[in-house]
Amino acid sequence: MPRQSTKLIFKLSLFNMLLAISAVACLGQSTSGTVTMSATVSKFVEINSGGAVTLTGNSGGGVTTDGVANSPLAVSINLGELGPSNTNSFVTALVPLKLRSNASYVMSMSATVTSSGSTANRIGSADIGFGLGTITRSGVGVNTGTDTNATSGDPSLPANGSINGTTGRYEFTAVRSNLSAFSSSTTALSGPYIMNAVPRSNANGLTVPAYFAVKPQFFENGTTTISVTFTVTAP
């Protein structure tokens, strides 16, 4: 057999082998297949209204924009008269909050108090008592955990304030019991994850009342605006 012909046969054979292998590889059958999957769960926290606001001890005023449970927290309250003509011992607003998370959370608060008065007798941030009440974790899908309340609770409790013997002015004296402690974002509440693995449509969560209290006194006359922002994070 001539050498050139042998080469040709060899090359043709190689070429056809490649074709055969390629055909089998492309269209060959298999008895198995795979489906791989992945999913991501990121940290999630939210704060909403826990329900309607309760305003007591007020003279005039009222709840301008009430809280609606499970809706974004956007409450507006007119505390009414805070001078001595209001003879109640305290004007107290109770704002229910609802928190939910799938991770440890921290709720911080910051507050600003602006008054039209110009003297030291105007209402200031220290005159606005603040505290968080009883923390409740209940309902299907809510994790049982222990939370840390960094405030002293209801500011109108006798243990949380008294009249200053020197100045005569009522003062909220307990730890983080008035808004001067929250002039910048400061932790008010923290704890472990709130919700077990349940869908967002589950309406349960952690509820806690936020108390705001003012002792009617001989404040300088004028108007005062208090703005409070709650923020929840998952550090």
Partner 1 sequence: MRLRYFTFALLISLTLLASSSTTSAQALDISSGGQPTITGAVSGSVTGSSDVRNDLVVTINFGEVSPLNTNSIVKVVVPVAVRSNQPYQVAVSMSGLNNANPQAVQASDVGFGVQNMRVLGGAGKICTQSTHIIRSPFNNDPSSSVSVASDGRVAYSSSFANLSGSTIILSGPQLSKNNSSIRQQSDGYIFDAIFTLTPQFFATGISSATLLFTIAAGPNVPC
Task: Output 24 or 175, the one with its CB closest to partner 1.
Answer: 24
**8 A C-beta contact, residue 147 and residue 190:** yes
Q: Min. distance of Cβ 209 from partner 1 in angstroms?
A: 23
What is the rounded distance in angstroms from the CA atom of residue 155 to the CA atom of residue 213? 6
Task: Output 2 or 165, the one with its CB closest to partner 1.
Answer: 2
Q: What is the per-residue DSSP string for 45-81?
A: EEEEE-S--EEES-BS-EEEE---TTS----EEE-B-
Q: Min. distance of Cβ 106 from partner 1 in angstroms?
A: 16
Task: Output 62 or 145, the one with its CB closest to partner 1.
Answer: 145
Task: Output 40 or 166, the one with its CB closest to partner 1.
Answer: 40
Q: Min. distance of Cβ 139 from partner 1 in angstroms?
A: 8
Adjacent-strand bridge partners of 48: 98
The binding site for partner 1 (CB under 8 A) comprises: 1, 5, 8-9, 12-13, 15-17, 19-21, 23-24, 26-44, 46, 100-103, 140-141, 143, 193-202, 204
Q: Min. distance of Cβ 130 from partner 1 in angstroms?
A: 29
What is the rounded distance in angstroms from the CA atom of residue 200 to the CA atom of residue 207? 16
Q: Min. distance of Cβ 26 from partner 1 in angstroms?
A: 8
* Number of other CB atoms surrounding residue 8 within 10 Å: 11
Task: Output 49 or 86, the one with its CB closest to partner 1.
Answer: 49
Cβ neighbours of residue 34 closer than 8 Å, sequence gap 6 or more: none
